[in-house]
């Protein structure tokens, strides 16, 4: 199987950190994140509050833990939408390459790619009302062409291979070949792409929440913690640094994981970094 080199191990640790925090927060949180305690506000780091408290006296560690849930959930479902719609589209296009299905899929891709993703995400969330759910849809829509393009490109080169030819000779239909032979061989490319999109999703969610179009109060979110911290950045820079570091750790971990997995799957690429 996959050999775990040091950088891969490191990235897995980084990725597990927010995942564990999010999971633990379902069973136990150091403090209730909805409870305001003004007399306890802006407390520096201490044993009771390892990351201090914010301007409402909420425990920062608890907020980061619950915020991790939002980020992970939004990014995960958004990637799911991309895979669920994008991969079949890409496979269809590759199976009947040159046909009108292929053309339609590729034109649709070009169309979505021509839109500045952030503007449309803001448009969608503004039209449908700001909420975590709409943020998921907005981010997810832009994952569809990404996965469609990646799977079509990789599938096209697979279709040239001998084992596909022999499957055709055996009398399998295009659809069966796509599902039984093409898809399993695409898996490693899709996993790598999914980690990249996941990290972009985390960043996008933070951005949308920052401008107030993501998860709504009182649900804690890393992006909104940053928005709240902005006015107090000179007084207590900790408020901005803590959620920022949380985002950086998660995104960094996912990017390294993507690079590491690609190297592990395809040793030819090892050492050369492509993006």
Partner 1 sequence: MASIVIFSLVEIAPGDPASFMLGINAQEDTISALRTELGLDQPKISRYFTWIGGMLTGDFGISYTYRTNVTEMVGDRLWVSLPLAIYSLVLSTVIAIPTGIYAATKRGKTGDVAVISATQFGIAVPNFWFAIILVGIFAIKLQWFSAGGFPGWQDGLVNGVTSLTLPAIALALPQAAILSRIMRSALIETLGEDYIRTARAKGLSVWQTIWRHALRNALIPVLTIIGLQFSFLLAGAIIIEQVFYLPGLGRLVFQAITQRDLIVVESVVMLLVSAVILINFIVDIAYMLADPRLRLDSI
CA dist 189 and 157 (Å) reads: 13
Shorter beta-carbon distance to partner 1: residue 92 or 222: 222
Which one of 240, 257, 262, 263 is in contact with partner 1 (CB under 8 A)?
240
Shorter beta-carbon distance to partner 1: residue 42 or 122: 122
151, 184 Cβ separation under 8 angstroms: no
Q: Which range of residues in 94-102, 155-163, 182-190, 237-245 is near partner 1 by CB under 8 A?
A: 237-245
64, 156, 206 from 237: Cα distances, Å: 16, 51, 18
Q: How many CB atoms lie within 10 A of CB 212?
A: 13
Question: Terminal CA-to-CA distance of the chain, rounded, Å?
Answer: 24
Shorter beta-carbon distance to partner 1: residue 95 or 223: 223
Shorter beta-carbon distance to partner 1: residue 122 or 179: 122
* Shortest CB 208 distance to partner 1, Å: 9
Binding to partner 1, residues 191-210 (CB under 8 A)? 199, 203, 206-207, 210
* Shortest CB 47 distance to partner 1, Å: 27
Number of residues that bind partner 1 (CB under 8 A): 41
* Shortest CB 171 distance to partner 1, Å: 40
Looking from the CA of 178 toward its CB, the CA atoms found within 13 Å total 18
* Shortest CB 105 distance to partner 1, Å: 15
Q: How many CB atoms lie within 10 A of CB 28?
A: 8
215, 80 Cβ separation under 8 angstroms: no
Using rule CB under 8 A, residue 98 touches partner 1: no
CA dist 131 and 150 (Å) reads: 30
Which one of 96, 252, 264, 265 is in contact with partner 1 (CB under 8 A)?
252
* Shortest CB 248 distance to partner 1, Å: 5
CA dist 231 and 4 (Å) reads: 43
238, 59 Cβ separation under 8 angstroms: no
* Shortest CB 114 distance to partner 1, Å: 5
261, 1 Cβ separation under 8 angstroms: no
Binding to partner 1, residues 117-176 (CB under 8 A)? 117-120, 122-124, 126-127
254, 9 Cβ separation under 8 angstroms: no
Residues binding partner 1 (CB under 8 A): 107, 111, 114-120, 122-124, 126-127, 199, 203, 206-207, 210-211, 226, 229-230, 233-234, 237, 240-241, 243-244, 247-248, 251-252, 255-256, 271-275
């Amino acid at each position: 199987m996959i050999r775990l080199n040091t950088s891969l191990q490191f990235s897995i640790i980084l990725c597990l950190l927010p995942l564990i925090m999010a999971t633990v927060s379902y069973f136990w949180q150091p403090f209730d994140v909805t409870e305001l305690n003004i007399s306890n506000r802006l407390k520096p780091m201490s044993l009771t509050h390892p990351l201090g408290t914010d301007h409402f006296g909420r425990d920062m560690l608890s907020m980061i833990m619950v915020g991790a849930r939002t980020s992970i959930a939004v990014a995960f479902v958004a990637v799911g939408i991309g895979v669920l719609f994008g991969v079949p589209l890409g496979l269809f296009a590759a199976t009947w390459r040159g046909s009108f299905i292929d053309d339609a899929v590729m034109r649709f891709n070009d169309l979505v790619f021509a839109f500045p993703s952030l503007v449309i995400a803001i448009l969608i969330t503004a039209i449908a009302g700001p909420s975590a759910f709409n943020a998921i849809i907005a981010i997810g829509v832009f994952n569809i062409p990404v996965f469609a393009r990646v799977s079509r490109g990789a599938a096209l080169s697979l279709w040239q291979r001998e084992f596909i030819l022999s499957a055709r000779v055996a009398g399998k239909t295009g659809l069966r070949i796509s599902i039984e032979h093409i898809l399993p061989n695409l898996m490693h490319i899709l996993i790598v792409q999914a980690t990249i999109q996941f990290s972009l999703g985390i960043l996008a969610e933070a951005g949308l929440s920052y401008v107030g179009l993501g998860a709504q109060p009182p649900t804690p979110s890393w992006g909104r913690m940053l928005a709240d911290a902005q006015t107090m950045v000179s007084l207590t820079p900790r408020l901005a640094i803590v959620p920022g570091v949380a985002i950086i750790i998660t995104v960094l971990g996912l990017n390294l994981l993507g690079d590491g997995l690609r190297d592990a799957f395809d040793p030819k690429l090892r050492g050369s970094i492509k993006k």
